[in-house]
A and B are shown apart, each in its own frame.
Chain A
Amino acid sequence: MWGQILLLIAVVVFSAFAVLAKDLIKSAISLAVASLFLGLLFFQMRAPYAGVFEISVVAGLITVLFMLVIALTKTGGDVRESKLATLGFPLFFVVFAVIDLIVMKGLLAKLPALAGPAESGTFGDVLWKQRTFDLVGQLGVILAGVFAVLALFRKRDNKDE
């Protein structure tokens, strides 16, 4: 339990740093580190496939995409974030954390739950046989994303609308 709580704290801390950092590259790397810790947490929760996916896709692929875009959009002059937002964050966060703690303690053991169906088979069975429709959906989002990017980067031969 404590190992998991440490990992959770790490994820939150690095995510907060990713949001608040001034340099975009540091921001992206911090996000990757947060994803790394989240992936390790998934491993700890006996979800190795989710952990692998989280690390290789979110910490890996998405970080690369971010780096690519940061490099491609190096415009003149940085965007200065509002000082209130960056400095005020710790205060707002602490207030939120206190509310969060109180709410969670209050809800403790008040949530009714039915036992789910017992799980049988391997992960492969669940993903490929039980949730096959999800794979069709995944194909759909991937295709939609590919076409979206193609459409957004197409060559414009005429400049008029």
Chain B
Amino acid sequence: MNSAWFVFIGFAAALLFVGLYALLTMRNVIKLLIGVEVIGKSVTLVLLATGFVKNNILLAQSLVITVIVVEVSLIATALALVINIARHTKSLDVRKLAKLKG
């Protein structure tokens, strides 16, 4: 794997860090979902970069498209959950949400 791959992976790791940082520290549930989106970008970048350096760009593209479709469905469900949460707790704060012990 040539060095170009590692450049892409390095940036993808940075994106992953940003996304995980959001999931770990943010209190607004919508910010949490933005974190999920950023993680999604990171993953599609990794997939496409891998295909790019292996000259398998067509296969990588179809994988990325499928992952994007999954992401849309996931975000739609999550946003539906968020709307319900906002109706119930009258707030978007994840701390008001967390009642269960886990």
What does the 1/0 interface line of A66-102 toward B look like (CB < 8 Å)?
Answer: 1011101101111111100100010011001100110
Contact of B80 among A41, A93, A111, A153 (CB under 8 A): A153
Q: How far is the CA of A69 from the CA of B60 in the complex (A)?
A: 32
Nearest CB in chain A: distance from B93 CB, A:
5
Q: How far is the CA of A117 from the CA of B55 in the complex (A)?
A: 9
Q: Do the beta carbons of A50 and B48 come within 8 Å of each other?
A: yes
Nearest CB in chain B: distance from A28 CB, A:
7
Q: Do the beta carbons of B15 and A57 come within 8 Å of each other?
A: no
Main secondary structure of the interface of A (DSSP, over half): helix
Nearest CB in chain B: distance from A20 CB, A:
9
Q: Do the beta carbons of A58 and B56 come within 8 Å of each other?
A: no
Q: Do the beta carbons of B82 and A35 come within 8 Å of each other?
A: no
Cβ contacts under 8 Å, B37 to chain A: 31, 58, 62
Q: How far is the CA of A134 from the CA of B8 in the complex (A)?
A: 25
Q: Do the beta carbons of A19 and B18 come within 8 Å of each other?
A: yes
Which residues of A approach B to under 8 Å, CB–CB? 1, 4-5, 8-9, 11-12, 15-16, 18-19, 24, 27-28, 31, 34-35, 38, 41-42, 45-47, 49-50, 53-54, 57-58, 61-62, 65-66, 68-70, 72-73, 75-82, 85, 89, 92-93, 96-97, 100-101, 104-105, 107-109, 111, 113, 115-119, 121-123, 126-127, 130-131, 134, 137-138, 141-142, 144-145, 148-149, 152-153
What 8 A-B pairs have minimum CB-CB distances, sorted nearest first? A145-B73, A85-B25, A73-B86, A152-B80, A79-B28, A8-B11, A19-B22, A148-B77
- Interface CB pairs A-B, < 8 A, 28: A1-B7, A11-B45, A12-B11, A15-B15, A15-B41, A19-B22, A19-B31, A35-B41, A38-B41, A47-B61, A49-B65, A50-B60, A57-B69, A58-B37, A66-B30, A68-B79, A75-B90, A79-B28, A79-B93, A81-B31, A93-B21, A100-B10, A104-B13, A119-B57, A130-B62, A145-B74, A148-B80, A152-B77
